Amino acid sequence: MKKRIAIFASGSGSNAQKIMEHFKRSSEAEVVLILTNNPQAYVLQRADNFEIPSHIFSRHEFYDTDTVIRLLKNLQVDLIVLAGFLWLVPPTLLAAFPNKIINLHPALLPKFGGKGMYGDHVHKAVLAAGEEESGITIHFVNEHFDEGEILHQSRFKIEPGDTLEIIKFKGQQLEHQNFPRVIESLLKKMKS
């Protein structure tokens, strides 16, 4: 029986695409649903391209009802992946999927994490701090932004003269290389 992955994303969904590509031919796991809080998110088009169903939900539906949890349970989802999803996961969802929700953060946690630290905000903070390296962190999700147990970190060097765009590009390369691989190894460790 294939392991079943659901991906939450709020925007373009380039990581979601890499994950869908990675598991498209896998005999071990499959992406069964893409969820978003943003009806304009490009990730919906990407899901469509892979013929993977998607679900758009409102803040009310996510925080005040169990609609999303029921949907994930009905699909027998084994792992929830946050790939550029910007809302804090509610305690009800954490309780329904203990140690089964992971996130990718575009910096080396615990530095540059927390509320409001996503996308360019993170990279600008890294640049402003004069860091010599940055990277990505893949971690379990808990009730706080970016504080769950770390599963994987990859680093890159920040060269003198690196711009925001270059740092973003270096980080994205690491995301695309590592996120699907870390998901795959995590799924292998999970009991059926």
Has 105 been annotated as catalytic?
Answer: yes
Active-site entry in 55, 105, 123, 152: 105
For every residue of the chain, which 3-state class applies, written as one string?
CCEEEEEECCCCCHHHHHHHHHHHCCCCEEEEEEEECCCCCCHHHHHHHCCCCEEECCHHHHHHCCHHHHHHHHCCCCEEEECCCCCCCCHHHHHHCCCCEEEEECCCCCCCCCCCCCHHHHHHHHHHCCCCEEEEEEEECCCCCCCCCEEEEEEEECCCCCCHHHHHHHHHHHHHHHHHHHHHHHHHHCCC
- Which amino acids are annotated catalytic? 105
